[in-house]
Amino acid sequence: MPRELNDLLKEMHRLEEQLESYWDSLREQFNYTLKDRKILFERETRDSHLKMRVNLYDYLLNARLVNILTAPVIYAMIFPIVLLDISFMVYQHICFRAYKIPLVNRREYILAIDRYQLEYLNIIEKVNCLYCGYANGLISYVKEILARTEQYWCPIKHARTIRDAHQRYVKFKEFGDGKAYHKDRIKLRQDFDE
């Protein structure tokens, strides 16, 4: 890996650690801690959250008509989303095992389903948050499965800059560098370390 790229990756790692420190300060500010997978609020904070909850009647009465009319369209997407989840679970269990690619741990990606624990949300808001957390976590899970697939089959960078490239992309060979691709192709198929 070129020194310049290695330096940039180290800087990204440093910034990620700085960002985690920032999240820790927000947890302190909003009076909660993380214990295992559970979020624990201080009693006083929980009580104040309960007072902020909008009851269902008021929530629905004040909802925009467009939100009510489009809700069935949004929630109908649960069927293709679940189908996508099942499809990629089956896909990786068959293909990754055959190619000796490490399986993607689904739980690591569909982990951010936690907003239902906020007492200031009513049941509709909690279901909405559950839906979005699952769908976005699933997309991250699928993205990692596809990243590992791409690393195995075609670890070559694109000629054009791509938006939101997966983390494995930095390992890929430069577009047009056939020598490096043929030299390192087999090694890249086995290098699935984070």
At 71-118, the pLDDT tens digits run 999 999 999 999 999 999 999 999 999 999 999 999 889 877 788 888
| pLDDT at residue 194 is higher than 80 | no
| pLDDT at residue 32 is higher than 90 | no
- Phi and psi for 193 in degrees, rounded to 5? -65, 150
> Which residue matches tokens 């198929």?
189
pLDDT of residue 75: 96
Contact in structure between 151 and 104 (CB atoms under 8 Å): no
Q: Quick one: pLDDT band at residue 38, thresholds 50, 70, 90? A: confident
Q: What is the mean pLDDT of residues 50-79?
A: 94
Find all residues with CB under 8 Å of 49, minimum gap 6, and list them: 41, 118, 119, 120
Angle at 103 between CA 86 and CA 144, to 5 degrees: 75
Angle at 77 between CA 75 and CA 79, to 5 degrees: 105
Q: What is the mean pLDDT of residues 7-28?
A: 85
Q: Which residue(s) pair with 38 in the sheet?
A: 35
Q: Quick one: pLDDT band at residue 135, thresholds 50, 70, 90? A: very high
Residues 18-57 as b or e (16 or more Cβ within 10 Å = b): eeeeeeeeeeeeeebeeeeeeeebeeeebeebeeeeeeee
CA dihedral over 34, 35, 39, 44, signed as positive or negative: negative
Query: Distance between CA atoms of 141 and 130, rounded to whole angstroms?
Result: 16
pLDDT of residue 34: 79
Q: What is the mean pLDDT of residues 64-77?
A: 96
Task: Calculate what percentage of the chain has a pLDDT beyond 70.
Answer: 98
Gap between the terminal Cα atoms of the chain: 15
Query: Distance between CA atoms of 133 and 113, rounded to whole angstroms?
Result: 5
Q: Quick one: pLDDT band at residue 29, thresholds 50, 70, 90? A: confident
Q: Quick one: pLDDT band at residue 130, thresholds 50, 70, 90? A: very high
> Which residue matches tokens 């948050």?
129
pLDDT in tens, 145-193: 999 999 999 999 999 998 988 889 888 988 999 999 999 989 988 888 7
Q: What is the mean pLDDT of residues 18-46?
A: 83
pLDDT of residue 1: 66
Contact in structure between 113 and 130 (CB atoms under 8 Å): yes
Tokens matching residue 123: 């049941």
Tokens matching residue 153: 């089959």
